[in-house]
Amino acid sequence: MFRSLIPSRRVPILALVLCLIGAGVVCAQPAPPQEIEGRGEMELVLIHGLGSSATVWDRIEPFLQGSFRVHRFELSGHGNTPTVPQATIADEVERLDEFLNDGDIILPILVGHGMGGMIALTYALDHPADVKRLVLMDTAPRQLVSQEMKAKITQEMLDDYDRFVASRYLAMSPDKEVTDEIVDQALRTDSASFISLLMSSFDYDETPRLRGLSVPTLVIGSDMMFPTAERSRAVLDAIGFASAPSLSFKRMARTGHFMMLEQPVYLASVIVAYGLTGDKIFQVD
């Protein structure tokens, strides 16, 4: 349970939309597992968010190697991974299952960012005995965008896809270097995959099953999603975590959505501490 209880308030919808957005060729063979050998025996799988790629973990990876065997799961149509026609979050959960089985990755810690967190959460709910721990970065267990907002987003993508994507990712980091990197990566993402995954997320809602979540879970939130420490519990409740039986929480101050690029050392220390102990409750900063 959380150590602090904060009166519930409404979370800004814009922050949720930005965190979600931040998130062709058909190939029958899945991309090979991307693994970085570490000295630890525990398995850790990093899952990036929409419009990103496996390379987003490059800065944090060296600080995780000593404690874990690190693997990276890449979404369809992102980075070097082939496109899957009309990909959905459910499809990516199935691909993650294949990835873990093909790589003989046993009882991993799943670390998911944005949409990657949605995929990790759904997998943990589907396979609770197969996940050691769960780390969700700027991830909500349900989609709060209204029907009007969904229609508006869809129309904006149809009118000018590149402008839509660039405008969203320009608002995800206070660091210009990081902003340039994430905008470039988002625009390089296969547009069909981006659109189909984003649209599939509009119906994402795991809150009915969240009460039965048995995998130890840490939620890491950025300044963008959790603007003030005092409101963190209210935000967690508002985005759907109120029904979770037990959670650990850590707020990353002075960060945008891409925490692994802005504060890789600090973020790695949080993941390592939770990954190795699993029972530490981080207080709201």
Domains and CATH numbers, the chain: 13-277 (3.40.50.1820)
Whole-angstrom CA distances from 83 to 13, 30, 132, 195 are 30, 10, 29, 12
- For 211-253, the pLDDT digits (tens) are 999 999 999 999 999 999 899 999 999 999 999 988 999 999 9
As a whole number, mean pLDDT of residues 55-77 equals 97
| Residue percentage of the chain with pLDDT more than 90 | 76
Q: Pick the range with the lowest mean pLDDT from 13-22, 78-87, 274-283.
A: 13-22
Q: Looking at residue 127, what is its pLDDT?
A: 98
Residues of the chain above pLDDT 70, percent: 84
User: Which two structure tokens, joined as six digits, stand for 254?
Assistant: 């002075």
The helix (H) or strand (E) run that includes residue 13 is helix 13-21
Handedness of CA 1, 241, 52, 70 (dihedral sign): positive
pLDDT range class, residue 20, cuts 50, 70, 90: low
Asked whether the predicted pLDDT for residue 109 surpasses 60, the reply is: yes
Q: Where are the alpha helices (DSSP H) in 48-173?
A: 89-102, 115-126, 147-159, 161-169
Strands 217-222 and 248-252, sheet pairing: parallel
- The pLDDT tens digits of the residues spanning 119-155 come to 999 999 999 999 999 999 999 999 878 889 999 999 9
DSSP state of 83: B
Average pLDDT over all residues of the chain:
86
In Å, how far are 22, 150, 190, 201 from 85, measured between CA atoms?
Answer: 21, 21, 11, 16
